Amino acid sequence: MPNALKHTLFIALPVLVIFAVLPGVYQNHLLLFNFVIFLILAQGVNIIYGFTGYLPFGYVGFFGAGAYGFAVVVMHLHAPGVPAVLAAGVAGVVVGLLLTPLLRLSGAYFAIANLAASLAVLHLIANPALESITRGPYGVSLSATFNPTSAYAAGLVVLALTLGAVVYLKNSRFGLALQAVREDAVSASMAGVNVVRMRVIAWLVSALVAGLAGGVYAWYVSVFYPDNVFSGDFSIFAIVFALFGGVASITGPIVGVIILYGIYNLIGFTTPQYFQLIYGLLIMGLVLFLPAGLVSLATRRGWHVP
């Protein structure tokens, strides 16, 4: 059996089935939905950081652009949910294209520039001068498309597509080329890899994923402000979850989200007064003892982790 099929059948499919079934047995659907959103975002970070080495501190910029892409087509074109989510993906890609020059930077410079760029997108959308288009800082209310059940289903579809993309990257020449670029761009270029094209494609796929996630999120929550969908917490959580599990793998970000976001909510429900202390200690422990993520526990022993 080819590896791609194995990864699809034994990793991606079980995750999707579990999250498709869980709403029938657990009533806090929004918690499950947030899990789905962070699974998508963590895999989006995985695509750009795990496979190319670019750490996107401002990843929420694509997410927020997607949410507002959704809102704009619903408000002005009266589009139903599904086409609006597609428009959200387009919005994410458009922002990604505009920010492509950032790929000239690397390391901390890229991370900081990306963070600044996401703030620029936020202030553009929240600008009162654009009130007639985006409602500026005054927030949107999308009661016409309000349908949490359909939004949850759309979230699962986006998650399936994202997992499919990561499975492809993990098992294709294209993914291998990306990892070669990440390790040593000059050597990869000498070996015939089109470095710029590879990076731009990975960047845009990552932006598309976040844009679609933003659209699905907007569909579900229906009432939001720029501060809601451009909250830096989305970037931070997605990056921490991906790093906690381990990037450049299919399972790492999934494990990271399930464990870390699970603990996050468990602490939040039971001992909120120790929330930041416990969570901070967990992340410190990760940085000190498992800098390559949880999957490194297995890879250190020579086990192959997809």
Report the interface residues with another protein, using CB under 8 A.
27-31, 34, 37, 123, 126-129, 135-141, 143, 146, 148, 220-225, 227-228, 231, 233-234, 237, 264-265, 268-269, 272-273, 275-276
Helix (H, G, I), strand (E, B) or coil at 172: coil
CB of 137 to another protein, least distance (A): 4
What is the widest separation between alpha-carbon atoms in the chain? 58
Give me the least distance between CB of 44 and another protein, in Å please: 16
Shortest distance, position 85 Cβ to another protein, whole Å: 17
Q: Which two tokens stand for residue 64?
A: 């927020």
Cα-flanking dihedrals φ and ψ of residue 72, to 5°? Answer: -65, -45
**What do you get for the CA distance between the two ends of the chain, in Å?**
15
Shortest distance, position 300 Cβ to another protein, whole Å: 33
CB nearer another protein, residue 3 or residue 276: 276
Query: Of 53 and 155, which CB lies nearer to another protein in the complex structure?
Result: 155
- The DSSP H or E segment spanning 30 is helix 29-45
Which of these, 66, 64, 62, lies nearest to 48 by C-alpha position? 62
Of 109 and 138, nearer to another protein (C-beta) is: 138
Nearest to 174 by CA among 156, 200, 151: 200
Q: For another protein, which is the closer residue by CB, 80 or 306? A: 80
Nearer to another protein, 124 or 305 (CB): 124
Residue among 203 and 261 whose Cβ is closer to another protein: 261
Q: d(Cα 93, Cα 99) in Å, to the nearest integer? A: 10
What is the phi/psi pair of residue 223, to 5°?
-120, 120
Question: Is residue 203 a contact partner of residue 100, using CB atoms and an 8 Å limit?
Answer: yes
Minimum Å distance from CB 90 to another protein? 24
Cα 53–chain centre separation: 15
Q: How near is the Cβ of 306 to another protein at its closest, in Å?
A: 29
